[in-house]
Structure 1
């Protein structure tokens, strides 16, 4: 009976073992990597009503689809978004907001020291979906990736939302006065997170500035104020 050399037999057996077990290991590792990639938390920058835990809870009560989602968001840090200012550019279609203005971030030009204060949160996949639903993603607000700087000067790549404004309108010239209760939701949220005084100054001016806000704002590191103040 003809036999293969022992070294050849051993080599074939090793190739067979690796084909069976090595492939399984590689597949398992790839699957694990995909799961980890899909479950990786999203950094989210909140600057408006989502600063308020009470507002998140109230929204959740009215949206049973997200009843099982824990909306106690994990805070990473307070921070600011440079080269933007706070505005109320879009008129809400929600009764909760009094059918009045809702918060937005407005890109600034020739105002290198302008900034929007808020909070960086780390979101789970389910929280990310819930926030997108609360914001009315794709029809009321749209997602935007931005670099937010924390109090230690560290930059974080974050997801945030900007309002979808009226067609043919320039965001920087739009203004809709916010509902008083909505204003208080944002203000209280800022208090809860210990945001700096500058946040509250910006909020006050943004909420009361009518028409051509760029023309009558002065935005610097000391806070946003009206020219006649």
Structure 2
């Protein structure tokens, strides 16, 4: 089984079930020394889309799902990642990294999980659409993620829809 850390719209249980039907929620998780940012523009989403950016002392809440290998390939496709692109000089939208996350936010309960990070991030904030950000907020509330973190999400500036 593959372990995947979701922090953006893939927090949404329904979206993950549609993308990866056999995905199974494992736990809430905390990624330390990264911050949530919106560094890539998506025409489909109508604004910036979520990314994780290294930032000492910051943290990103998300959830961990278990997937099978076939579904990881499907998720790679959805996230614009192809491990073979390096060979033919095309660029990926996201790269897949293996990171250490803290299960349920406890530092002593760590697990390695895959996560996606924007390959060529913008250096400035690209405001997400209200709809996209609300999807992330609703999913965070559904999973019972830290209320303080949810308030941070609610304070993110959005694009003019």
Q: Which of the five TM-score ranges fits, normalised by the shorter chain?
A: 0.7 to 0.9
- TM superposition shift of 1:72: 4.7
Task: Give the TM-score normalised by structure 2.
Answer: 0.82
Specify whether residues 122 and 56 from structure 1 end up closer, same or farther in structure 2 by C-alpha distance, changes over 3 A only.
closer
For the 8 Å contact 2:22–2:67, the answer to whether it is kept is no
Higher relative contact order (CA 8 A, sep 6+): 2
Structure 2 residue aligned with 1:204: 154
Larger radius of gyration: 1
Aligned length: 148
Give the SS at the match of 1:79. strand
Q: Determine if the alignment matches structure 1 residue 80 to structure 2 residue 30.
A: yes
Gaps of 5+ in 2: 83-91
Give the SS at the match of 1:188. helix
Following TM superposition, the consecutive aligned residue runs of length 4 or more in structure 1 with deviations greater than 4 angstroms are none
Q: How does 1:15-164 map to 2 (within 5 A)?
A: 41-56=1-16, 60=19, 70-94=20-44, 97-98=45-46, 100-108=47-55, 111-112=56-57, 114-138=58-82, 139-151=92-104, 152=106, 153-164=108-119
Task: Give the TM-score normalised by structure 1.
Answer: 0.59
Q: Determine if the alignment matches structure 1 residue 186 to structure 2 residue 136.
A: yes
Gaps of 5+ in 1: 1-40, 61-69, 210-229
The CA RMSD measured in Å over matched residues stands at 2.1
- TM superposition shift of 1:178: 0.3
